[in-house]
């Protein structure tokens, strides 16, 4: 049965059509989600929630529209919620949106930006900073404090904060050269 007929069946409440559509898409959706969260339980939750929402909103399905786009849009929003919870980073949405557009527009696009490897490399790069540089870097780039707020909190001048931040950014950029896109999202999102 083609996808349009399956969607019409689901819209009418057919669990058999739903099962067939689920079996057709579940592995591709699972692979897409797992690439970002790198956790089987979290991936399972997002995939199951995506399909649950499809069933719950089955009356609104439009058999003439791309089911793939609808499916990946739902999972995209669930992924954003999970990744925001994990990283609490305002530009993570842009990263995931870019990945979603690639996944929704083609059957398979090789992934060159790996979030988990970036996070691990960032941790290692921060170990090369002095304790003060690391503290200032984290306050500015991870806790989103301004230079003035950091200076006040640490009882140092704003110029010292700027100097320490500049020095730490040189080290971080040098260590994370192969993650240019993610680094730009991380550094310039604040």
The reply to whether 110 falls in a domain is no
Residue 147 token pair: 């230079």
> Could you identify the residue written with the tokens 């991870």?
142
Point out the domain boundary residue: 85, 105, 125.
105
Evaluate whether 33 touches 64 at the Cβ level (below 8 Å). no
Evaluate whether 64 touches 4 at the Cβ level (below 8 Å). yes
Residues 93 and 26 grouped into a single domain = yes
| pTM assigned to the model | 0.48
pLDDT tens by residue, 36-77? 777 788 889 999 999 999 999 999 999 888 898 899 899 988
Range of the domain at 127: 115-188
The reply to whether 168 falls in a domain is yes
Residues 101 and 8 grouped into a single domain = yes
Evaluate whether 96 touches 78 at the Cβ level (below 8 Å). no
């Amino acid at each position: 049965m083609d996808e349009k007929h399956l969607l019409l069946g689901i819209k009418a409440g057919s669990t058999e059509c739903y099962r067939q559509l689920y079996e057709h898409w579940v592995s591709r959706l699972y692979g897409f989600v797992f690439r970002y969260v790198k956790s089987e339980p979290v991936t399972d939750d997002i995939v199951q929630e995506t399909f649950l929402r499809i069933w719950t909103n089955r009356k609104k399905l439009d058999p003439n529209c791309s089911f793939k786009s609808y499916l990946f849009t739902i999972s995209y929003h669930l992924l954003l919620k999970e990744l925001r919870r994990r990283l609490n980073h305002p530009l993570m949405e842009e990263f995931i949106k870019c990945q979603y557009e690639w996944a929704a527009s083609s059957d398979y696009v090789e992934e060159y930006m790996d979030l988990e490897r970036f996070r691990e490399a960032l941790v290692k790069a921060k170990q090369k900073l002095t304790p003060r540089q690391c503290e200032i870097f984290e306050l500015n780039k991870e806790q989103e404090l301004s230079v003035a707020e950091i200076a006040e909190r640490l009882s140092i001048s704003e110029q010292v904060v700027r100097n320490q931040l500049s020095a730490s950014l040189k080290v971080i950029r040098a260590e994370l050269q192969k993650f240019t896109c993610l680094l730009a999202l991380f550094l310039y999102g604040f």
